[in-house]
């Protein structure tokens, strides 16, 4: 009973949202991320992270599914939808870790695989990626 109450309080602290303001947009911001960012691979996703001066949003995210891997737009859109959903549900720890820092993060998730993963696999992968980003924060 006590654990349930604690869980409800923890859930109340973070709303599982991914608003438009957290999407990384703008040609210069994206170019800077790919040129200056540090990357690592958690197959099938390549993650690029860049610390930038403090912004309104603590983390801004870019999702990329290359046409060379998924020829049909339907498949690219489905993969991006899965990525958005798994990030939305698992980003609480990353947002909390960056919220009190004096910088913001720009993050890109670039798909490297040729096949579509299941939602469960992608959710576990996103948890690992977010943990790894949290460990590498300055």
Comparison of pLDDT for 15 and 86, the residue scoring more: 86
Tell me, yes or no, whether 24 lies in a domain: yes
Helix ranges (DSSP H) in the chain: 2-13, 27-36, 73-90, 92-99, 119-135
How many domains would you assign to the chain?
1
* The pLDDT of residue 14: 65
In this prediction, residue 9 has a pLDDT band, given cuts at 50, 70 and 90, of: very low
Helix ranges (DSSP H) in 14-118: 27-36, 73-90, 92-99
Q: Is 10 helix (H, G, I), strand (E, B) or coil?
A: helix
Tell me, yes or no, whether 8 lies in a domain: no
* The pLDDT of residue 1: 46
* The pLDDT of residue 8: 47
The mean pLDDT of 20-30, rounded to a whole number, is 92
Tell me, yes or no, whether 1 lies in a domain: no
Any idea what the CATH number is for the domain that residue 116 is in? 3.30.230.10
Q: 106: Cβ–Cβ under 8 A, 6 or more apart, which residues?
A: 24, 29, 32, 33, 37, 49, 50, 52, 59, 60, 61, 62
Tell me, yes or no, whether 122 lies in a domain: yes
Q: Containing domain of residue 42, as a range?
A: 17-135
Tell me, yes or no, whether 78 lies in a domain: yes
Tell me, yes or no, whether 5 lies in a domain: no
* The pLDDT of residue 123: 95
* The pLDDT of residue 80: 95
Tell me, yes or no, whether 6 lies in a domain: no
70-96 residue pLDDT tens:
999 999 999 999 999 999 999 888 988
Tell me, yes or no, whether 25 lies in a domain: yes
Provide the mean pLDDT of the chain.
88
pTM of this prediction? Answer: 0.85
């Amino acid at each position: 009973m006590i654990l349930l109450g604690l869980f409800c309080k923890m859930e109340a602290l973070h709303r599982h949202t991914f608003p438009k303001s957290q999407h990384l947009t703008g040609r210069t911001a994206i170019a800077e991320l790919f040129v200056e960012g540090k990357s690592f691979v958690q197959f099938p996703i390549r993650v690029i992270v860049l610390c930038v001066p403090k912004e309104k949003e603590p983390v801004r995210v870019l999702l990329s599914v290359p046409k060379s891997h998924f020829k049909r737009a339907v498949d690219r859109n489905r993969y991006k939808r899965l990525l958005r959903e798994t990030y939305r549900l698992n980003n609480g720890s990353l947002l909390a870790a960056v919220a009190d820092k004096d910088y913001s993060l720009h993050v890109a998730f670039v798909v490297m695989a040729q096949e579509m993963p299941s939602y469960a696999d992608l959710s576990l992968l996103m948890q690992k990626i977010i943990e790894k980003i949290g460990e590498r924060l300055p």
